[in-house]
Structure 1
Amino acid sequence: MEGDYIIGGVFSLHNTMHTVIHNYTRKPEPLRCSGRVDYRELRFARAMTFAIAEINNSSVLLPGVTLGYQIHDSCGSVSVAVQAAFQLVNGHAPEYHPDQRCSQSGMVMGIVGESGSTPSISMSRVVGPFNIPQVSHFATCACLSDKQQYPSFFRTIPSDKFQADALVRLVKQFGWTWIGTVYSDSDYGNNGMASFLSAAQREGICVEYSEAFYRTNSRSRIQKVAQVIRSSTATVVVAFAASGDMRILLQELCQEPVPYRQWVGSEAWVTHPDLLRFSSCVSALGLGIQQSVIPGLETFLLDLPFITVSASPLLSEFWEEAFKCRMPTNARPDDTVCDGSEDLVNIQNPYTDTSQLRITNMVYKAVYAVAYAIHSAVCPQNTTCQPHPFIPLQSTQVFAQLKKVNFSLNGYTVSFDANGDPVATYELVNWQTTNQGPVRLVTVGHFDASQPKGQEFRIQKVLQWMQGTTQVPMSVCSQSCVPGTRKVLHKGKPICCYDCIACPEGEISNITDSPNCHHCPEESWPNPKRDSCLPKSVEFLSFSENLGIILIVFSVGGACLAILTATVFFQDRNTPIVKANNSELSFWLLLSLTLCFLCSLTFIGAPSEWSCMLRHTAFGITFVLCISCVLGKTIVVLIAFRATLPGSNVMKWFGPSQQRLTVASFTLIQVLICIIWLVVNPPFPINNLTTYKDRIILECALGSAIGFWAVLGYIGLLALLCFVLAFLARKLPDNFNEAKFITFSMLIFCAVWITFIPAYVSSPGKFTVAVEIFAILASSFGLFFCLFLPRCYIILFKPEKNTKKYLMSK
């Protein structure tokens, strides 16, 4: 249609290009299309003519100006699309007529099309140098956003860069980490899949296979792709392909039973109504351009006069295919002749289907965008310019204004960013079966790239998955590793294929699919599932546990026995057996034994700074006091027998005063050792985290190990001296020779403390304290029983032997 300004249109109205084998003996035939008419592409072309008719009837947009159009069929072929681009640039007129308007023989003001990315790329390289704006409704290749290569390219459909990111987030949202991919071996498929794979790798999604194909490939190639899909382990297949390519692949997959697969599709095919007949794709999920309503378009499409059809070879071909009749000019005697009584209202095909206008609306918006750009160029100062004579216009002016367009149409805003792209918004569509049987396209959510990350998807309806279930299918190479385990990758396989190994002792993982386990804090330990850290149990010898209670009973019992013995000795202090055993040293010894028994209680309970200092010093001082008393008694025995020799006066040198001084001196030395220890480096409480990994031992650190072993060494030195002296006096003649019992007691004492050293060093945790208490109690009971049990026996049960005569007898 002619007009003041011409807008070009390029659509894939046919499926294939007519091919001829050249023999180079005659001039090649002109390029032409063949095959079936693509009903949806025809609807796109008719939507363009509808939009131009609306604009020409508008009193606001380009009033008094008539737009014309030239629409070409590219049949999806690069060569035919390039030829159409040259025709649009040069015009159809064979010569220039000065008396006619320039638009009738010059270049177009803008081009709407093409539907595919590869033909659009070729067209843009032709029209770009002339600054003729090209607005595509369906070319989504991200490469076309490169303004260095395609400076005059615009589009009303979002770039595949956004679609690839959206598909990756969709796959990620449902937890699919093991997928297969197929894509068109074209600019659209190659660039779209490259963007998808790059984004998928960043998100940790693994691809089992990635197969490229094209509808013109050999049958064997298509069969190979189908076989890869059938034999794969991935449940989810992402297809970034054109509708024509997917039709060929799905037809091949229908030849043999195919395992259930969850298809995830790009916009190019997942919303194509002609593909809904393939049952193998039921439950397919994908992105679609938003639906819209174009008032009056349905009536325009259905109201196609027969005279108009007869005048157009393309519409005649469409009419013959739709109604299975032949136009009168093409009819043979046995053909059904089309007579104009046919009604498109009774036909159900993609041309008449206006229930979900998606790409059609992109065509509609593209035409209006060019019209608004022309309007701005013609009326730069007045948006409601009045009718005026024709104004010569250059495509460069339209190109400059197209960058700035910003208008609303049927509730949608139309504008372009610096790359010529619109704001990316998609519908999430799902192929769902109905009770009646046919598959229908259901919008279940939306995607808006302008929303914050993580909030782009909004799913409002229940999705239908493969086999008609509402359960999200699984598609993983390996099952997720639960918390408490970590992933171990298989050598030579993708990162999604792994084994789950339990975390080693002392480590946890608290997230699913953790690549590593990490140590708990020093004072924590993993729970049995090893998915969280719990505070370590604190261990010490407490008053409430069985071992502690037993030791307390023995400690208190020993102290009570010592006190009872002191009471018995005090009551019988004037008896010969008490007097003969140096009653004063005996009372001091009983007092020290009582303190020895009681000092073991300081080792029980949670250690504190004071208890740590007290337990070691009290133990050291009380034991030295005890051994000093025993040593004093031993010396008294030796001197007593020496004093019986004629002329000996040695007894006066070791009387009661000297005995007290000896005990005090030996004890004072230990007191000084303990004071030095406490001043230089005293014992202190610590949390022992090394003995056991799963618990904390509260214990007392020695501070200065030299101080501790000096205290023990001094006790051992006195015990050894006492043992030697007692051993020398063991056979002195007497009916009741105390030296024998001192010898036995010192033998027990030394044996206990010699065995204590290795037991103390090797005992873990609270048992170290228990060994120390046991040594204290054992040595104390040894001294008590050896030194006092025989006397108590005579005092209480053999009073007849408690006489001077008995003791002096031989």
Structure 2
Amino acid sequence: METSEPVSVTKNYQHILVQAFAINEINENPNVLPNITLGFRILNSYYVARMTYKATLSLLSIQQRFVPNFTCDAKKNIIAVIGGLLSETSANMASILSTYKIPQLSIGSFSSVLDNQMIFSSLYQMVPNDAYQYLGVVQLLLHFRWTWIGLIAVDDDSGDQFLQTVVPMLSQNGICYAFTLRTPRDTYMTDVRDLFFKSIQKYPVLIESQANVYFVYGEPSSMLGLRMLLLLAPFFALPRVSKVWVVTSHWDFEFVCFESIPEIENFHGAISFAVHSNQPPEFQQFLQVISPFWTKGDGFIQNFWEQAFNCQLKIPSEQEESKTICTGEEKLESLPSVLFEMSMTGHSYNVYNAIYVVAHVLHSMHEFISKSKTLGKGQRPGLLMLNFQPWQLHHFLKSVLFNNSAGDTLHFDEHGVLVSGFDVTNWITFPNGSFIRVKVGRMNPRAPPGKELSISDDQIVWHRSFNQVQPISVCNDNCHPGYSKKRKEGEKFCCYDCLPCPEGMMSEQKDVDACVKCKQDQYPNKNQNQCIPRDINYLSYKEPLGIVLALLAISLSLLTVIVIGIFMKHQDTPVVKANNRSFTNILLISLLLCFLCSLLFIGQPEKVTCLLRQVAFGTVFSAALSCVLAKTMIVVLAFMAAKPGSGMMKWVGKRMANSILFGCSFIQASICTLWLSTSPPFPDMDMHSVNGKIIMECNEGSAAMFYFVLGYMGFLAIVSFIVAFLARKLPDSFNEAKFITFSMLVFCSVWLSFVPTYLSTKGKYMVAVEIFSILASGTGLLGCIFFPKCYIIVLRPELNNREQLRRKKK
């Protein structure tokens, strides 16, 4: 039973015209196959497997008769076959042609599922491997920071392979897909109504998805259902799909009639990876002279002309009266781009290149045979071509290398794939159904890794719904600097919450997986999105606190010097002599050194100052306390020895006092020596105690030794306080015990409060606390012990006599 011929795609008629154009160029070119005329035959597969097999077998049959595998016509000599446009078509053709080793140049992408060098050994691909454009799409998505997309693929083996290849690539690059939509595998012979109702159920996925970018894989015939759905959606009160369509080179916007033109508005701003193309010279002029009567050998032009211009070349019948009659003067340039393009498309450019490849291979074979074999007298070169066998072309195809008329270099790699790339094009549509393809980038598979894709952002026109602002396609808003991502439970890794960075950590970029710490000499700013240098912190002579403490230390030192001068001037007076002049002088000198050693704590810590300051402070203060203890013990022993029958007289004297002084001081000096020899203090930088500051300090080396030194001084102070307290009521007008009691009370109070205060402060304030404690405790000793005596010596000299010294307290 006969069936009506299916409607053809008008845009594909350009492939036929390109073939005629290229053959004419070659036949008129004296430098390629001189004196030899190439011919060609075109058959239509209609994207149907049985039609493809029939067309392929027809090439192997007697002309005008379908008798495969018989050669009965000497004039028919098939050298190579060019086609097909779809992977399935190419595979179906190759399954037959490979048996006869006839070279086949596929002008469309060839699925890697079918890429078997053993089965398709005679197949040569004019389009680079699909993996390269998948890599280009991934780089494109990363370039625009689109991490949440929709995947649309045809529901067949090639679609399965596409998803198996692309999904891992997306995941490895941090891109997720919101949904996967499979379109039915149909052809142009399918009932459009069935196709529409199969697809209408999937439409909500397209309009409800949060993703603004859809990555589409499918050949023109397999995408018919999706396109028909987008076309008819407004008639069913369904909203338009305003998205960015990213499509592979397999898909072209093909339309079969004027009624489907409104569909193209959905694809305004689409980004397509297209087969690289150039415009051969004079092709535009060639198209301008085309008419329905230009050649009798073109069996497709009448059907194309009537379908493209919606008219009738012959007188219409009664049933066709609504159609106008074609004048034959219609011009191709007047057709909308969806029906026919005046510029050479990528697949047409492949046809053009494939014809030139065959021509150059035949030319190389002709030259090779002409040089190796002498022609007989009167033998024409064209007769030599009749002896060529298709399988002989393979050797020359693998080594072919030439520049075409458009300036591109053509040659195949070791796998029989043309060494080329892809153009990144931007589709700009117009209300009348026209569109233009603007090249906005290039995908070069042989560029250095990571540099394969080059794109010009400023040339891209986006869909009208985005108001020419680059679309955002993410699962949720980006995490700003200062935040890190936290994955949402049960959702894909592209969907996450944003958490502020923990204290002390930061993030400089958007969407970081984890916050990081700054370098040791830096710290996070307030917003935790940048590391800034830390301020160096130490107690300096240039700041107010350091100046005040330094002036106070110097003032107390001068005051001590004054006291020493008073006592030296009046050293022979009873008040001075009554309290052991030697110990008084040692005590005053120790206090002077205590005040001066506090200056070692001010300024930038150095190795020498760190070694000296605690040791000097501990040793000198221990000497002062030892003097106080010795003076107090002498007073106590003297009064005990004065009692009748007491045996304490042998303990009274300078020997006992000196033993106390040097013994107690020696113990502290031994502790400090052990400290310096085992774990001495050293300059250090504290990066963590105070946020935003580097504390330059003296690390005590051994905290235990430091507190041991303080503890020993505390022990001496407590013993001195106890002894002085017991001796405070001894009868003597110049008894020092009560003054020493008060001084030790001040001393102990200061250092007992020092410990918790010291531990609770950081940085320069910790040093300031210790300096203040040194000055306060030293002032307590100086004031309580020596100021009363200075008062008598300077202001009440009448009391400074022996009678007052011997006077007993009643």
Verify same fold: TM over 0.5.
yes
Q: Distance in 2 between matches of 1:745 and 1:339?
A: 127
Aligned partner of 1:238 in structure 2 is: 215
Shift of 1:322: 4.8
Aligned partner of 2:343 in structure 1 is: 355
Shift of 1:325: 5.1
2:411 is aligned with 1:415? yes
1:567-596 CA deviation, whole Å, 9 max, x = no partner? 333444444333333334323322222222
Matched position secondary structure for 1:585: helix
Shift of 1:401: 3.0
TM-score of the superposed pair, with normalisation by structure 1: 0.85
Shift of 1:694: 4.8
Tell me, yes or no, if the aligned pair for 2:272 and 2:426 is still in contact at 8 Å: yes
Tell me, yes or no, if the aligned pair for 1:118 and 1:187 is still in contact at 8 Å: no
Matched position secondary structure for 2:331: helix
Q: Distance in 2 between matches of 1:387 and 1:297?
A: 33
Q: 2:42 aligns with which of 54, 71, 83?
A: 71
Aligned partner of 1:790 in structure 2 is: 788
Matched position secondary structure for 2:5: strand
Q: Distance in 1 between matches of 2:311 and 2:60?
A: 38
Distance 1:94 1:687, change over 3 A: closer
1:682-705 CA deviation, whole Å, 9 max, x = no partner? 333333456446544333333455
Give 2:460's aligned amino acid.
L
> 1:608-687, aligned counterparts within 5 Å?
608-642=606-640, 654-655=652-653, 659=657, 663-687=661-685
Q: 1:749 aligns with which of 747, 750, 756?
A: 747
Q: 2:358 aligns with which of 363, 370, 375?
A: 370
Shift of 1:491: 2.2
Matched position secondary structure for 1:73: coil
Shift of 1:235: 0.9
Q: Distance in 2 between matches of 1:702 and 1:340?
A: 104
Aligned partner of 2:381 in structure 1 is: 387
2:206 is aligned with 1:229? yes
Give 1:343's aligned amino acid.
E
Distance 1:693 1:312, change over 3 A: closer
Segment of structure 1 superposing worse, 600-609 or 665-674? 665-674
Distance 1:197 1:725, change over 3 A: closer
Give 1:464's aligned amino acid.
V
Aligned partner of 2:140 in structure 1 is: 170
Distance 1:338 1:134, change over 3 A: farther
1:120-159 CA deviation, whole Å, 9 max, x = no partner? 2122112222212211222443445431332111132333
Aligned partner of 2:427 in structure 1 is: 431
Matched position secondary structure for 1:69: coil
Distance 1:414 1:662, change over 3 A: closer
Tell me, yes or no, if the aligned pair for 1:117 and 1:187 is still in contact at 8 Å: no
1:39-77 CA deviation, whole Å, 9 max, x = no partner? 222332243344344444554434444444332221111
Segment of structure 1 superposing worse, 652-661 or 218-227? 652-661
Q: Distance in 2 between matches of 1:97 and 1:239?
A: 41
Give 1:114's aligned amino acid.
G
Q: 2:461 aligns with which of 461, 464, 469?
A: 464
Segment of structure 1 superposing worse, 340-349 or 471-480? 340-349
Shift of 1:616: 2.2
1:243-274 CA deviation, whole Å, 9 max, x = no partner? 34445423322423314211222234346587
Distance 1:580 1:519, change over 3 A: same
Q: 1:219 aligns with which of 196, 199, 208?
A: 196
1:705-724 CA deviation, whole Å, 9 max, x = no partner? 56545544543444344334
Segment of structure 1 superposing worse, 95-104 or 149-158? 95-104
Q: Distance in 2 between matches of 1:713 and 1:455?
A: 70
Tell me, yes or no, if the aligned pair for 2:56 and 2:93 is still in contact at 8 Å: yes
Distance 1:238 1:731, change over 3 A: same
Q: 1:263 aligns with which of 245, 251, 266?
A: 245
Shift of 1:799: 4.0
Aligned partner of 2:442 in structure 1 is: 446
Q: Distance in 2 between matches of 1:448 and 1:233?
A: 32
Q: Distance in 2 between matches of 1:244 and 1:450?
A: 31
Tell me, yes or no, if the aligned pair for 1:486 and 1:501 is still in contact at 8 Å: yes
Aligned partner of 2:501 in structure 1 is: 503
Q: Distance in 2 between matches of 1:524 and 1:785?
A: 47
Shift of 1:518: 2.5
1:374-430 CA deviation, whole Å, 9 max, x = no partner? 444455334899624253332222344333332332223332222222123233222
RMSD: 3.7
Tell me, yes or no, if the aligned pair for 1:292 and 1:358 is still in contact at 8 Å: no
Q: Distance in 2 between matches of 1:181 and 1:123?
A: 30
TM-score of the superposed pair, with normalisation by structure 2: 0.85
Q: Distance in 2 between matches of 1:757 and 1:346?
A: 98
Q: Distance in 2 between matches of 1:438 and 1:50?
A: 24
Q: Distance in 1 between matches of 2:310 and 2:527?
A: 71
Q: Distance in 1 between matches of 2:323 and 2:726?
A: 145
Matched position secondary structure for 1:500: strand
Shift of 1:189: 4.8
Distance 1:304 1:210, change over 3 A: same
Q: Distance in 2 between matches of 1:648 and 1:330?
A: 156
Distance 1:424 1:144, change over 3 A: farther
Q: Distance in 2 between matches of 1:98 and 1:576?
A: 148
Percent identity over the alignment?
Answer: 33
Q: Distance in 1 between matches of 2:202 and 2:557?
A: 93
Segment of structure 1 superposing worse, 429-438 or 720-729? 429-438
Tell me, yes or no, if the aligned pair for 1:144 and 1:153 is still in contact at 8 Å: no
Q: Distance in 2 between matches of 1:49 and 1:186?
A: 34
1:79-98 CA deviation, whole Å, 9 max, x = no partner? 21112122223444467999
Distance 1:782 1:126, change over 3 A: same
2:83 is aligned with 1:128? no
1:601-656 CA deviation, whole Å, 9 max, x = no partner? 22222322221222222222222322232233223323543565579897797455
Segment of structure 1 superposing worse, 183-192 or 588-597? 183-192
Tell me, yes or no, if the aligned pair for 2:154 and 2:183 is still in contact at 8 Å: yes
Unmatched runs of 5 consecutive residues or more in structure 2: none
Tell me, yes or no, if the aligned pair for 1:133 and 1:152 is still in contact at 8 Å: yes
Q: Distance in 2 between matches of 1:293 and 1:73?
A: 25
Tell me, yes or no, if the aligned pair for 1:50 and 1:300 is still in contact at 8 Å: no
Aligned partner of 1:583 in structure 2 is: 581
Distance 1:603 1:443, change over 3 A: closer
Tell me, yes or no, if the aligned pair for 1:33 and 1:75 is still in contact at 8 Å: no
Tell me, yes or no, if the aligned pair for 1:326 and 1:336 is still in contact at 8 Å: no
Q: Distance in 1 between matches of 2:66 and 2:750?
A: 125
Q: Distance in 1 between matches of 2:267 and 2:438?
A: 14
Tell me, yes or no, if the aligned pair for 2:196 and 2:228 is still in contact at 8 Å: no
Segment of structure 1 superposing worse, 585-594 or 289-298? 289-298
Give 1:423's aligned amino acid.
V
Matched position secondary structure for 1:34: coil
Q: Distance in 2 between matches of 1:305 and 1:698?
A: 93
Aligned partner of 2:13 in structure 1 is: 42
Q: Distance in 2 between matches of 1:783 and 1:96?
A: 125
Aligned partner of 2:282 in structure 1 is: 295
Q: Distance in 2 between matches of 1:474 and 1:324?
A: 42
Matched position secondary structure for 1:471: coil
Q: Distance in 2 between matches of 1:364 and 1:284?
A: 26
Shift of 1:232: 0.9
Give 1:393's aligned amino acid.
F
Tell me, yes or no, if the aligned pair for 2:265 and 2:429 is still in contact at 8 Å: no
Q: Distance in 2 between matches of 1:754 and 1:375?
A: 107
Aligned partner of 1:5 in structure 2 is: none
